[in-house]
């Protein structure tokens, strides 16, 4: 079995969708979920699904931290950032080369970088009157949203779409494609 560790910061719809996708999978299992927010709703979702979840604070997360030691001891085949909003420390990136992936709710390199996450992305897309947005799954490197792109999917936006409607369309793409992309990465390696 290959196993995945998920990271999330908020509601956790992607986490729930990924966990459900891999339930009963013959080759891939979800080990646990880590969150940087102890009141994040993703923990309630994990409780309901019977999946172990851990929250951590800033000192546990920084370079050369206890969390890095824990991750190394768990030896994940893949670390998946599924709505995780903190920057991954340099030493963590170095410890898991090509083993940390992220989903970003826009078509990178547009609308990436520090401060570009969640609804901020969709508001900027709306403000710039874009005619399409989408998702980018990419490897994580030392710079926000700049690692090698694995797959992108786009969706049309109309001028009447609100930022909330853009968010809904993008989340639909995330839920449709992200688990399959994860599965493909693990079956190639
Ligand atoms: C997702 O749309 C994900 O793409 C985004 O956070 C949302 C989390 O939703 N991630 C980023 O913005 C990372 N820069 P969820 O908690 O419902 O899965």
What is the domain range of residue 171? 2-188
CA of 142 relative to ligand 1 center, distance in Å: 19
Please tell me the residue having the least CA distance from ligand 1 atom 8: 83
Return the pLDDT at 189: 66
CA of 84 relative to ligand 1 center, distance in Å: 7
In the block, which residue shows the tokens 């963590």? Answer: 92
Return the pLDDT at 147: 95
| Residue 77 contacts residue 100 (beta carbons within 8 Å) | no
Per-residue pLDDT for the chain (189 aa), expressed as one digit of tens each?
999 999 999 999 999 999 999 999 999 999 999 999 999 999 999 999 999 999 999 999 998 899 999 999 999 999 999 999 999 999 999 999 999 999 999 999 999 998 999 999 999 999 999 999 999 999 999 888 899 999 999 999 999 999 999 999 999 999 999 999 999 999 986
Return the pLDDT at 64: 86
CA distances from 66 to 63, 84, 126 (A): 9, 19, 40
Which CATH number goes with the domain that contains 139? Answer: 3.40.50.170
Return the pLDDT at 43: 98
Return the pLDDT at 151: 98
CA of 13 relative to ligand 1 center, distance in Å: 9
Task: Name the domain count of the chain.
Answer: 1
The H-assigned helical ranges of the chain are 13-22, 41-49, 58-61, 66-74, 90-95, 118-127, 163-188
CA-12 nearest atom, ligand 1: 16
Please tell me the residue having the least CA distance from ligand 1 atom 12: 117
Q: CB under 6 Å to ligand 1: residues?
A: 8, 10-14, 82-83, 85, 103-105, 117-118, 171, 174
The rounded distance, in Å, linking the Cα atoms of 60 and 17 is 27
Q: What HEC string does 71-108 produce? A: HHHHCCCEEEECCCCCCCCHHHHHHCCCCEEEEECCCC
Return the pLDDT at 188: 83
Q: Angle at Cα 37 formed by Cα 181 and Cα 28, nearest 5°?
A: 30
| Residue 112 contacts residue 147 (beta carbons within 8 Å) | no
| Residue 135 contacts residue 103 (beta carbons within 8 Å) | yes
């Amino acid at each position: 079995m290959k196993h995945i560790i998920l990271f999330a910061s908020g509601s956790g719809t992607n986490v729930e969708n990924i966990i459900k996708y891999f339930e009963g999978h013959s080759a891939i299992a979800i080990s646990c979920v880590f969150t940087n927010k102890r009141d994040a709703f993703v923990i309630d979702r994990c409780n309901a699904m019977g999946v172990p979840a851990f929250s951590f604070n800033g000192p546990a997360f920084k370079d050369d931290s206890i969390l890095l030691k824990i991750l190394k001891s768990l030896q994940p085949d893949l670390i998946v950032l599924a709505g995780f909003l903190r920057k991954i420390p340099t030493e963590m990136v170095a410890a898991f080369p090509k083993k940390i992936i992220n989903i970003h709710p826009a078509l990178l390199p547009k609308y990436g970088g520090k401060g570009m996450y969640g609804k901020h992305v969709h508001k900027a897309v709306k403000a710039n009157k874009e005619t399409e947005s989408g998702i980018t799954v990419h490897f994580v490197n030392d710079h926000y949203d700049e690692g090698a792109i694995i797959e992108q999917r786009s969706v049309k936006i109309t001028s009447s779409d609100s930022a909330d409607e853009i968010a809904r369309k993008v989340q639909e793409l995330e839920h449709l494609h992200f688990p399959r992309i994860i599965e493909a990465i693990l079956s190639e390696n």
